[in-house]
Chains A and B, each alone.
Chain A
Amino acid sequence: DTEVTQTPKHLVMGMTNKKSLKCEQHMGHRAMYWYKQKAKKPPELMFVYSYEKLSINESVPSRFSPECPNSSLLNLHLHALQPEDSALYLCASSQFLALSSYNSPLHFGNGTRLTVT
């Protein structure tokens, strides 16, 4: 079990659908992250929120839209995705924004496995 909960665990959607991925943590962490992971590849950073404000967008296409309603919740809204967007989407949190020079490990959820048909 992890302290970062992601729902749903699996999601299949068509290219015209709109869906949302959800992430929740109750550790009092103030930074939250979305990563994308393709098969046999390392996770790739997509978005970072710090104190509920978007701090980093790694040039992600606009068909991915993040939202941080409060310090415990992080959503990723999906619209008009392509089959190549099929991947494992991972949420993480840390006490503070985990710049490399800070003593703030990331805590990951187990991800949502997304298939775009």
Chain B
Amino acid sequence: DAKTTQPTSMDCAEGRAANLPCNHSTISGNEYVYWYRQIHSQGPQYIIHGLKNNETNEMASLIITEDRKSSTLILPHATLRDTAVYYCMGRGGGSNYKLTFGKGTLLTVNP
């Protein structure tokens, strides 16, 4: 099983920032943290990934703590179309070959 933990669900008001946390306490020094999201009835969509430094792209920002045991995905101005399940992905249990999804966070953006 994945060694990531996320809240089951979160709500956010439209136009506000959505901050989604993920704990990945077993991540090793050379392993990246990836974030994906899955909108209903679609395949997962890649959002962002990082190793040590904070990252930003056109979709989101990723803040990784200095000890790399946790990270936060930030959607700066959430819209209704951002309602989705957000997955933080790290090393799978016992094998470096696995990219295993955790249970994810259902983010609901409310008008």
Which residues from chain A sit less than 8 Å from chain B, CB to CB?
Answer: 2, 4, 42-45, 48, 55-56, 90, 92, 98-103, 105-111
How many chain B residues touch the partner (CB < 8 A)?
Answer: 27
- CB of B90 within 8 A of CB of A100, answer yes
Q: How many cross-chain pairs have Cβ atoms below 8 Å apart between A and B?
A: 61
- CB of B44 within 8 A of CB of A101, answer no
Q: Are A42 and B99 CB-contacts (below 8 A) given A102-B32, A103-B32, A105-B34?
A: no
A100 to B100, CA, bound (A): 9
Neighbouring B residues of A101 by C-beta, 8 Å:
28, 30-32, 96
- CB of A43 within 8 A of CB of B91, answer no
The interface bits of chain B over 64-98 (1 if a CB of A lies within 8 angstroms of the residue's CB, else 0) are: 00000000000000000000000100111000111
- CB of A2 within 8 A of CB of B98, answer no
Neighbouring B residues of A55 by C-beta, 8 Å:
97
Q: A4-B43, A42-B104, A98-B99 are in contact. List 9 more A-B contacts (CB 8 A).
A: A42-B101, A45-B98, A48-B97, A92-B43, A101-B28, A106-B44, A106-B46, A106-B99, A110-B42
Neighbouring B residues of A42 by C-beta, 8 Å:
87, 101-104
Which residues from chain B sit less than 8 Å from chain A, CB to CB?
Answer: 28, 30-32, 34, 36, 41-46, 49, 51, 87, 90-92, 96-104
- CB of A100 within 8 A of CB of B91, answer yes
Shortest Cβ distance from residue A5 to the other chain B in the assembled complex, whole angstroms: 11
Shortest Cβ distance from residue B36 to the other chain A in the assembled complex, whole angstroms: 8
Neighbouring B residues of A99 by C-beta, 8 Å:
96-97, 99
